[in-house]
Structure 1
Amino acid sequence: MLILWTQGDTNGIGSEVILKSFHRWRHRPHRAVVVGSYCMMKFYEKRLNLTTPLVEIESLNDIPMQEKTPDEPLYVLSLSCNIKANVGEIQADAGELSMKAVERAATLCLSGEADAMVTAPIHKEAIAKAGYPFQGHTDFLEHLSQSGRAQMLLCDIETNLKVALATVHIPLGKVSETLRASGLRPHLTALANALTKNFGIQTPRLAVLGLNPHASDNGVIGKEETEFLQPELALLKQDFCVDGLFAADGFFGAKRYKEFDAVLALYHDQGLIPFKMLAFETGVNMTTGLPIVRTSPDHGTAFDIAGKGIANEASFLSATHLAIQVAERRRHLETTA
Structure 2
Amino acid sequence: MTHASLPLALTQGDPAGIGPDIAIAAWAKRRENGVASFVFIGDPDVVASRAALIGIPINIETCDVADAVDFFDRAFPVLPLPVGFEVQAGQPHVGAAHATIKAIETAVSLTVEGKTAAVVTNPIAKSVLYEAGFGFPGHTEFLADLALRLTGEQVTPVMMIA
Q: TM-score range by the shorter chain?
A: 0.7 to 0.9
Structure-2 residue corresponding to 1:10: 15
Deviation string for 1:35-65 (max 9, x for gaps)? 01111011101111110111112x324x17x
Tell me if structure 1 keeps the 8 A contact 2:42–2:103. yes
RMSD: 2.1
Q: Return closer, same or farther for 1:112/1:86 CA change in 2, 3 Å cut-off.
A: same
Superposed displacement of residue 141, structure 1: 1.1
Residues 93-104 of structure 1 correspond to what in structure 2 (within 5 A)? 93-104=95-106
Report the AA paired with residue 54 of structure 2: L
Whole-angstrom distance in 1 between the partners of 2:102 and 2:156 = 20
Whole-angstrom distance in 2 between the partners of 1:30 and 1:142 = 24
Tell me if structure 2 keeps the 8 A contact 1:95–1:122. no
Aligned residues: 152
Report the AA paired with residue 5 of structure 1: L
**Misfit runs of 4+, over 3 Å:** 26-30, 67-71
Structure 1 unaligned segments of length 5 or more: list them. 154-284, 286-297, 299-314, 316-337
Report SS of the residue matched to 1:151: coil
Superposed displacement of residue 75, structure 1: 0.5
Report the AA paired with residue 61 of structure 2: V
Q: In structure 2, which of residues 43, 47, 51 is the aligned counterpart of residue 41 of structure 1?
A: 47
Deviation string for 1:16-37 (max 9, x for gaps)? 1110011222464842110011
Structure-2 residue corresponding to 1:31: 37
Higher fraction of strand: 1
Structure-1 residue corresponding to 2:158: 152
Report the AA paired with residue 19 of structure 1: I
In our comparison, the structure showing a higher alpha carbon Rg is 1
Q: What TM-score, normalized by structure 2, do the two folds share?
A: 0.83
Identity of aligned residues (%): 24
Tell me if structure 1 keeps the 8 A contact 2:83–2:96. no
Matched, 1:136 2:138: yes
Tell me if structure 1 keeps the 8 A contact 2:126–2:138. yes
Structure 2 unaligned segments of length 5 or more: list them. none
Deviation string for 1:155-184 (max 9, x for gaps)? xxxxxxxxxxxxxxxxxxxxxxxxxxxxxx
Superposed displacement of residue 83, structure 1: 2.3
Tell me if structure 2 keeps the 8 A contact 1:26–1:70. no
